[in-house]
Structure 1
Amino acid sequence: MTDPRIYDMLAHAFHAEGTRLLFTLLGDGNMHWATALEGLGCRLIHARHEHCAVSMAMAAVNAGEAVGVASVTCGPGLTQIMTALATAVRAHLPLVVFAGEAPLRQAWYNQEIDQAPFVTATGATYIRALSPARMADQVREAFFIARQERRPVVIGVPFDLQAQPAPDVKPYQPSTTLLPKLGRMQPDPAQLAEVARAVAAARRVIVVAGRGARAADAAAACVALADRCGGLLAATLPVRGLFHDHPFDLGVAGGFSSDTARAAFAEADLVLAVGASVTHHTADGGKLWPEARVVQIDSRPIGFNQGRRVADLYLQADARAGVEALLAALPEAPATPGFRSAALAERLQTAPADATPFPARPGLLDPRAVIRRLDAILPRDWEMVNASGHCSYFAAQMRGRPAEHFHTIREFGAIGNGLSYAIGVAAAKPGRPVVLFDGDGGFLMHAQELETVRRHGLPILLCLLNDGAYGSEIHKLRADGLPDAGAVFGRGDLGAVARGFGLDGAVVTDLAGLEAQIARFAETRRGMVLDFHIDDDVTSPVMRRAHPPKAH
Structure 2
Amino acid sequence: MTHDHDLVLRPTEAQTNAALNPPAGRNGGDLVVETLTGLGATTVFGLPGQHALGMFDALRRSTLRYVGLRVENNAGFAADAYGRITGEAAPLLLSTGPGALMSLAALQEAAAASAPVLAIGSQIPAAGLGGGRHGYLHELRDQQASFRDIVKSVHTVRTQSQIPSAIAAAWESALTAPHGPVWVEIPQDVLLAETTLPVVTAMDATPEDIAPRPELTAVAAHLLANAERPAIIAGGGVVRSDASGKLLALAERLDIPVVTTFGGKGAFPWEHPLSLQSWLEDRHTTDFLEDADVLLVVGSGLGELSSNYHTFAPRGRVIQIEADAGKLESNHPALGIHADARLALQALLETAPERRDPTAPERVSAVLGKVRDRIAAQDLGLEQRIVAAVREALPERSPSFWDMTILAYWAWSAFDPKHPNTMHSAQGAGGLGYGFPAALGAAAADPSRPVLAVSGDGGAMYSIAELATAKQYGLDVTWLIVDDGGYGILREYMTGAFGEATGTELARPDFVALAESFGVPATLTSPESLTADLAKALAAPGPSVVVLPALLRMFEPTHL
Which among 147, 160, 182 is matched to residue 189 of structure 2?
A: 160
Cα deviation 1:217-236 (Å, max 9, x = unaligned): 54344334433444312222
Query: Does the 8 A contact of 1:187 with 1:315 survive in 2?
Result: no
Offset of 1:28 from its aligned partner? 1.9
Structure 2 portions without partners, runs of 5+: 1-22, 129-133
Corresponding residue of 1:541: 556
What is the TM-score of this pair, normalised by structure 2? 0.84
Corresponding residue of 1:469: 486
Cα deviation 1:483-520 (Å, max 9, x = unaligned): 31421125663223222222122333x33333432343
Corresponding residue of 1:138: 166
Corresponding residue of 2:518: 501
Which among 235, 238, 250 is matched to residue 276 of structure 2?
A: 250
Structure 1 portions without partners, runs of 5+: 361-365, 547-552
Corresponding residue of 2:18: none
Q: Tell me which amino acid in the other structure corresponds to 2:140.
A: I
State the alpha-carbon separation in 1 of the partners of residues 312 and 32 from structure 2.
50
State the alpha-carbon separation in 1 of the partners of residues 423 and 232 from structure 2.
20
State the alpha-carbon separation in 1 of the partners of residues 480 and 49 from structure 2.
33
Deviates more, 1:323-332 or 1:389-398: 323-332
Percent identity, aligned pairs only, is 22
Corresponding residue of 1:549: none
Which among 370, 379, 382 is matched to residue 386 of structure 2?
A: 370
Corresponding residue of 1:406: 423
Which among 222, 226, 231 is matched to residue 247 of structure 2?
A: 222
Distance 1:298 1:52, change over 3 A: closer
State the alpha-carbon separation in 1 of the partners of residues 352 and 32 from structure 2.
54
State the alpha-carbon separation in 1 of the partners of residues 355 and 101 from structure 2.
58
Distance 1:215 1:11, change over 3 A: closer
Corresponding residue of 2:14: none
Q: Map of 1:407-426 to 2, 5 A cutoff? A: 407-426=424-443
Q: Tell me which amino acid in the other structure corresponds to 1:281.
A: L
Cα deviation 1:40-76 (Å, max 9, x = unaligned): 2111111001111122111111111410111112221
Query: Does the 8 A contact of 1:103 with 1:160 survive in 2?
Result: yes
Corresponding residue of 2:296: 272
How many residues end up aligned between the 2 structures?
529
Q: Are 1:431 and 2:458 an aligned pair?
A: no
State the alpha-carbon separation in 1 of the partners of residues 511 and 408 from structure 2.
18
Q: Map of 1:434-449 to 2, 5 A cutoff? A: 434-449=451-466
Cα deviation 1:431-456 (Å, max 9, x = unaligned): 32001122221111221111111111
Distance 1:30 1:431, change over 3 A: farther
Distance 1:21 1:402, change over 3 A: same
Deviates more, 1:416-425 or 1:160-169: 160-169
Cα deviation 1:269-321 (Å, max 9, x = unaligned): 43221233333322223434654442223466657556x22x44345555455
Q: Are 1:185 and 2:212 an aligned pair?
A: yes
Query: Does the 8 A contact of 2:77 with 2:437 survive in 1?
Result: yes
Corresponding residue of 1:64: 86
Corresponding residue of 2:12: none
Query: Does the 8 A contact of 1:30 with 1:98 survive in 2?
Result: no
Cα deviation 1:228-261 (Å, max 9, x = unaligned): 4443122222231222252331222633x6x874
Corresponding residue of 2:261: 236
SS at match of 2:479: strand
State the alpha-carbon separation in 2 of the partners of residues 185 and 405 from structure 1.
27
Deviates more, 1:282-291 or 1:46-55: 282-291
Q: Map of 1:43-62 to 2, 5 A cutoff? A: 43-62=65-84
Cα deviation 1:441-481 (Å, max 9, x = unaligned): 11112211111111111111112232222123212211222
State the alpha-carbon separation in 2 of the partners of residues 434 and 407 from structure 1.
11
Query: Does the 8 A contact of 1:420 with 1:449 survive in 2?
Result: yes
Query: Does the 8 A contact of 2:319 with 2:334 survive in 1?
Result: yes
- Output the aligned Cα RMSD: 3.3
Corresponding residue of 1:383: 399
SS at match of 1:407: strand
Q: Tell me which amino acid in the other structure corresponds to 1:385.
A: F
Query: Does the 8 A contact of 1:440 with 1:466 survive in 2?
Result: yes
State the alpha-carbon separation in 2 of the partners of residues 359 and 279 from structure 1.
28
Q: Map of 1:314-329 to 2, 5 A cutoff? A: 314-315=336-337, 319-320=341-342, 322-323=344-345, 326=348
Q: Tell me which amino acid in the other structure corresponds to 2:303.
A: T
Query: Does the 8 A contact of 1:51 with 1:84 survive in 2?
Result: yes
State the alpha-carbon separation in 1 of the partners of residues 124 and 472 from structure 2.
30
Query: Does the 8 A contact of 2:164 with 2:200 survive in 1?
Result: no
